[in-house]
């Protein structure tokens, strides 16, 4: 993986990667799933997102990824108002975000190597430039012997690891992961967490939504908790 560009400003002075200001979200005419959500994701931070099932964690992540628009309130990405983005600008901003979906979203006609390398291909990179890095990353997530395998032949845990590798292969400025260790054993979960922390050390902002208390307790980082449509910040484990 290539080295990320240097931040244009010191971490403390830089604009947050994502900012929510009094955001509300509802589907159709139903009740609000998220209410008055206000928070920042500081550049270079690592945070967990927790909360009971149905609390709105996946909805919040979709708003961050700009797969949904809020019903009210303001969301900014990388210092700019997301609502003002044109259809042409949206894909370019979204490429700065690595997203791990719960349903993996692998392309069935591509093998493991091609699925992981897809963000680099879309960015215009040549295979010769990234082949070694992609192969190394696939091996790191324990799928070195599956590079030519088709998605249909993989287990759920294997597909999840492919989705994680694809999300981080380009060292995005922001990584958002929805239950990234939900289908892997504890040992692989710890290995993936190390991968996330190493990516964070290189400058990527990381937000992981999880029910895994063991995972949350492994790092002394801020914890965002969703309950009854509202978000609270518990600070670090030490606090």
Q: Is residue 89 part of a domain?
A: no
Q: Is residue 149 part of a domain?
A: yes
Full-model pTM: 0.87
The pair of structure tokens assigned to 26 is 């509802």
Q: Is residue 232 part of a domain?
A: no
Contacts with 161 (C-beta within 8 Å, 6 or more apart), sequence order = 141, 142, 143, 184, 188, 192
Give how many domains the chain has, as a whole number.
Answer: 1
Q: Is residue 43 part of a domain?
A: no
Residue 160: name the closest of 225, 229, 102, 88 by CA: 102
Residue with tokens 């550049």: 43
Residue with tokens 């990405």: 77
In whole angstroms, what is the distance from residue 2 CA to residue 82 CA?
28
Q: What is the pLDDT along the chain (239 residues), one digit of tens a residue?
A: 444 444 444 444 578 999 999 999 999 988 999 999 999 999 999 999 999 988 999 999 999 999 999 999 999 999 999 999 988 899 889 999 999 988 888 999 999 999 999 999 988 999 999 999 999 999 999 999 999 999 999 999 999 999 999 999 999 999 999 999 888 888 888 989 999 999 999 999 999 999 888 889 999 999 999 999 999 988 765 44
DSSP 95: T
Residue 96: name the closest of 174, 42, 43, 164 by CA: 174
Q: Is residue 120 part of a domain?
A: yes
The pair of structure tokens assigned to 114 is 């091609």
Q: Is residue 144 part of a domain?
A: yes
Contact in structure between 64 and 97 (CB atoms under 8 Å)? yes
In whole angstroms, what is the distance from residue 97 CA to residue 141 CA?
20
């Amino acid at each position: 993986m290539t080295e990320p560009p240097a931040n244009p400003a010191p971490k403390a002075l830089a604009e947050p990667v994502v900012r929510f200001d009094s955001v509300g979200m509802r589907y159709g005419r139903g009740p609000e799933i998220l209410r008055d959500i206000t928070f920042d994701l500081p550049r270079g931070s690592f945070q967990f997102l927790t909360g009971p099932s149905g609390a709105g964690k996946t909805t919040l992540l979709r708003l961050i990824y700009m797969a949904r628009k809020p019903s009210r309130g303001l969301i900014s990405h990388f210092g700019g108002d997301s609502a003002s983005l044109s259809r042409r600008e949206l894909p370019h901003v979204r490429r700065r975000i690595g997203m791990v979906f719960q349903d993996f979203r692998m392309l069935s006609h591509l093998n493991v190597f091609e699925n992981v390398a897809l963000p680099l291909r879309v960015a215009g990179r040549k295979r010769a430039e990234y082949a070694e890095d992609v192969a190394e990353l696939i091996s790191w997530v324990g799928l070195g012997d599956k590079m030519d395998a088709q998605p249909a032949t993989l287990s759920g845990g294997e597909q999840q690891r492919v989705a994680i590798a694809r999300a981080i292969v380009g060292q995005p400025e922001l990584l958002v992961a929805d239950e990234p260790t939900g289908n892997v054993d504890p040992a692989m979960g710890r290995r993936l967490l190390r991968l996330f922390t190493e990516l964070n050390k290189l400058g990527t902002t990381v937000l992981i939504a999880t029910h895994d208390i063991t995972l949350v307790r492994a790092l002394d980082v801020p914890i965002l908790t969703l309950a009854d449509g509202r978000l609270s910040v518990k600070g670090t484990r030490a606090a």
